[in-house]
């Protein structure tokens, strides 16, 4: 009896792994562009208009970002594409040189900024596209690779920065009805839901697996479809609430931490050791040693403190003096962070950053 059950389970799992022939044919002849639209504070933007065009495409395709900021363009002919993202109240974002390859998925994280110095941000992609949905060795940053990063005292900060970059560039995981590989194991057994798994999703998924094993499930059941939609909505809502709570907790922690520092005379304020874990044209992202909290240092504030224009290099690895190209800080560097003041009219702290010379 046990052998029969195991055999039935094996055939059921095999069925879950296999994709329909039409989907396999689509993957073999076309590619996909998908991703999310967020603010500079990583908040999803709903209702952004995304447009793609290419010589390989007949006409222009349009999509609108969902409540979770997600969008998707499936079944695209291979070739170079230009993507435009627009939302009232934000700078228009243009991405040129996106290369779609047959059977692969281009994942994008579109960060929209508020208009200050102009209305359009144009980016030309010069790096190879990364397909995070294929499971062949070399296509993704694996857990084993991250686990082998240096952890000795001389290199541990660089390893920490690479870890954080892997998190920052990856798309926010969501639960979706479309079949795709599981984020962790790269398998279609979890076709409907991506990791991390919420409990309600686990319950529903195992219900479907049991129905497949025992043959008790119904096809085209409206009640089951409605339940599936409700599960997806509840699980994604739970993820969003958790993210917002974490952000609020971090904000209150920084207000308490830097608020106490601000009460001290400037010469007695502590310099808090941190690691540079990310760079963007407008911000330096650092992770404090204690408490281990992410902090944003704004380039504009650094320019005032240093008395020179500051820029980030094309690879987002070095922070330099824009006039002399002298390096100010680099990804993985140890830096000291000191509070200057709380910005008036903006809910953010102005900070000073100084590189720690080894």
Overall average pLDDT of the 64-89 stretch? 91
Q: Which pLDDT band, with edges at 50, 70 and 90, does 85 fall under?
A: very high
Where is pLDDT greater, at 257 or 204? Answer: 257
Asked whether residue 1 carries a pLDDT value surpassing 60, the answer given is no
Q: How many CB atoms lie within 10 A of CB 326?
A: 9
* Residue 48 · residue 112 · CB < 8 Å: yes
> Residue for token digits 């008790």?
216
Asked whether residue 283 carries a pLDDT value surpassing 90, the answer given is no
The pLDDT, as a whole number, for residue 263 is 93
The pLDDT, as a whole number, for residue 272 is 93
The pLDDT, as a whole number, for residue 14 is 38
* Residue 198 · residue 238 · CB < 8 Å: yes
Reading the block at residue 311, the tokens are: 């820029």
The pLDDT, as a whole number, for residue 49 is 95
pLDDT tens digits along 14-28: 343 333 433 444 445
Instruction: Indicate the pairing of strand 79-86 with strand 49-53.
Output: antiparallel
Beta pairing partners, 93: 85, 121
Q: Which pLDDT band, with edges at 50, 70 and 90, does 231 fall under?
A: confident
Domain 27-134 is classified in which CATH homologous superfamily? Carboxypeptidase-like, regulatory domain (2.60.40.1120)
Q: How many CB atoms lie within 10 A of CB 186?
A: 15
| CATH code 2.40.50.140 region(s) in the chain | 266-355
Q: Which pLDDT band, with edges at 50, 70 and 90, does 242 fall under?
A: confident
Kindly give, in sequence order, each residue whose CB lies less than 8 Å from that of residue 195, ignoring residues fewer than 6 positions away.
173, 182, 183, 184
Is the Cα dihedral 108, 113, 117, 120 positive or negative?
positive
The pLDDT, as a whole number, for residue 26 is 44
* Percent above pLDDT 90 for the chain: 22
pLDDT tens digits along 31-56: 899 999 998 877 889 999 999 999 98
Q: In this predicted structure, which of 62-66, 138-142, 341-345 has the lowest mean pLDDT? A: 138-142
Dihedral angle over CA of 118, 121, 122, 126, nearest 10: 140
CATH no. for 266-355: 2.40.50.140
Please give the span between the terminal C-alpha atoms of the chain, in angstroms, as a whole number. 67
The pLDDT, as a whole number, for residue 87 is 92
* Residue 274 · residue 335 · CB < 8 Å: yes
| CATH code 2.60.40.1120 region(s) in the chain | 27-134
Overall average pLDDT of the 243-249 stretch? 84
Q: In this predicted structure, which of 120-124, 252-256, 307-311 has the lowest mean pLDDT? A: 120-124
Beta pairing partners, 272: 337
The pLDDT, as a whole number, for residue 187 is 40
Backbone conformation region of residue 208, classed left if phi is above 0, alpha if psi is from -120 to 50, else beta: alpha
Q: Which among 136-150, 159-173, 254-268 has the top mean pLDDT? A: 254-268
pLDDT tens digits along 181-190: 444 444 444 4
* Residue 165 · residue 280 · CB < 8 Å: no
Overall average pLDDT of the 262-266 stretch? 91
Kindly give, in sequence order, each residue whose CB lies less than 8 Å from that of residue 5, ignoring residues fewer than 6 positions away.
none
- Residues 287, 273: Cα–Cα separation, whole Å: 9
Name which of 286, 271, 293 is nearest 338 in CA terms.
271
Asked whether residue 4 carries a pLDDT value surpassing 80, the answer given is no
The pLDDT, as a whole number, for residue 52 is 96
- Residues 152, 162: Cα–Cα separation, whole Å: 15
User: To the nearest whole number, what is the mean pLDDT of the chain?
Assistant: 75
Q: How many CA atoms lie within 13 A of 4 on its CB side?
A: 2
Reading the block at residue 67, the tokens are: 């409540």
- Residues 327, 310: Cα–Cα separation, whole Å: 10
The DSSP result for 257-318, as a single string, is HHHHHHTS-GGGPPPEEEEEEEE-SSEEEEEESSS--EEEEEHHHHHHHHTS-EEE-TTS-E
């Amino acid at each position: 009896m046990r052998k029969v059950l195991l055999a039935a389970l094996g055939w059921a799992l095999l069925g879950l792994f296999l994709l329909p022939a039409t989907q396999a044919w689509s993957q073999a002849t076309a590619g996909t562009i998908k991703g999310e639209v967020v603010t500079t504070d990583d908040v999803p933007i709903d209702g952004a208009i995304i447009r793609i065009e290419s010589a390989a495409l007949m006409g222009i395709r349009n999509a609108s970002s969902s409540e979770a900021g997600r969008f998707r363009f499936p079944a695209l002919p291979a070739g170079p594409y230009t993507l435009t993202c627009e939302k009232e109240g934000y700078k228009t974002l243009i991405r040129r040189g996106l290369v779609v390859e047959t059977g692969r998925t281009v994942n994008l994280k579109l960060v929209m900024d508020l208009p200050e110095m102009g209305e359009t941000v144009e980016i030309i992609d010069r790096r190879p596209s990364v397909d995070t949905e294929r499971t062949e060795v070399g296509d993704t940053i694996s857990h084993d690779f991250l686990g082998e990063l240096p952890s000795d005292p001389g290199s541990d900060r660089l390893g920490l920065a690479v870890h954080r970059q892997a998190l920052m560039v990856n798309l926010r995981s969501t639960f979706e009805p479309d079949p795709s590989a599981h984020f962790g194991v790269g398998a279609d057994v979890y076709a409907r839901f991506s990791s991390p798994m919420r409990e309600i999703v686990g319950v529903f998924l195992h219900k479907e697996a049991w129905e497949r094993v025992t043959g008790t499930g119904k096809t085209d059941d409206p009640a089951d479809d409605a339940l599936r939609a409700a599960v997806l909505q509840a699980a994604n809502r739970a993820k969003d609430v958790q993210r917002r709570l974490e952000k609020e907790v971090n904000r209150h922690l920084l207000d308490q931490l830097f608020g106490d520092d601000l009460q001290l005379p400037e010469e007695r304020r502590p310099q808090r050791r941190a690691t540079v874990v990310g760079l963007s044209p407008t911000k330096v992202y650092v992770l404090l040693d204690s408490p281990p909290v992410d902090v944003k240092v704004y380039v504009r504030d650094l320019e005032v403190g240093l008395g020179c224009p500051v820029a980030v290099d094309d690879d987002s690895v070095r922070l330099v003096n824009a006039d002399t190209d002298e390096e100010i800080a680099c990804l993985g560097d140890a830096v000291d962070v000191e509070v200057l003041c709380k910005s008036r009219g903006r809910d953010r702290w102005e900070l000073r950053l100084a590189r720690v010379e080894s």
